[in-house]
A and B are shown apart, each in its own frame.
Chain A
Amino acid sequence: MILARLLVRVVTFLLLLLLALLGLAVALAAIEPGTGADAAGLPGLRDQVGAWFDGLEGGEGIAVPSLIGGAAAALLGLLLLIGLLVPRRERLVVLRRTDHGSLGARRRALAGVARSLAEQTRGVSAAKVKVKPRRRGGGRLRVNAARPRPTDEKAVERSIADQLESLTGPFRLKASVRTRAGERGERVQ
């Protein structure tokens, strides 16, 4: 989805640029007939495209590059349509839902709380947290923490999980914790 949206922006920019250049060529051709079109190479392009269409009409076999090009163009068009038409979802983690209202948080907010809790754990020098919401409420926290080399990996992971209990316990949040041995010189809490 991110790729599709990025593609839409890039292609939109390129098409607008192309349109501007074509407009310039047309303007030049209007001022001085022949010059603008020649400068843009339009006659050559017309001949090339014309020859290609003639070949196609004449029943020549479809060249593999043309087939690949057509398939790529169709794929690009599909991606552009997805990027344009699929609505942007607000990725909320619904923590609790009752008749009196609901409690939710954006992924960034939950990740901030979880990171802060994880970094308070003894033996942790830094932590990164990714939050993945579930469709039916709750979600999953993936914690990746750095620890100094001499510390016990399992013990630190248990401590982090315990520290996160105040966040995961009341809600349907599941935490998976991984640690890696930190680089020399990383500070430890």
Chain B
Amino acid sequence: MTADTTAPPLPSPAELRAAADRLVSALAAHDDPEYRLTVLKRLVRRLGEERYPLFLRLLGVVAESDDARAQRLLAETFGTALRRMDMPGGALSSWGAARLPDPSAPLAASAFSGHFFGAAPQRLLGPVEYLTVWHLQRTQRTALGAETFRTALARMIALLNRSDDARALYPQKLAADAQNELEGAYTRATRDRLAAIAAAWKAGRPPEEVAQAALDAQSGDTPANWVVRDL
């Protein structure tokens, strides 16, 4: 018996618009910010780790629309999430964290291979961090291409700019993340890109330029003749 590795079919344009439409209607149904955040978090939970990109795509569908009210509803909900430090996040395996094995259980062979000390733990990442880590770090997903990263990140920032809170708080969060070397969620390259995003976003540059700044950022202290691989 083999596992079914067939990817689910891509949603059609009509399906994506219908889902985005329902998402916006659901947020509009109640004024309570906690309710709105709960809608996003439950949607992410129901989608599951593997389908988090579909959540990002739904945000992108709203971002690509001409519907300013819909964009404000979503962005303000992210503003709430940022104030609560409770983002509707997706899981990617992190490069540096380790989890000790359970001494009462048999040792798994993977403990002595690429996942030293057990299966790689995963961290929940907000949309911007998720896209950045997916593009730059070795995770359970095939790396996100630069062009898709640029497009998706620019859309996300354009959407979040519809909320004063999100526009102010998200770059602050990214700048703080970029300075945190200890936790092990991000490689140096990722922290440099997050810092570049934060700086360009804080400076009020257009979303496309913020995304480009992330691609242009280079790790500053790597000697030119070194071969570096992101772990």
Asked if chains A and B come from one complex, the reply is no
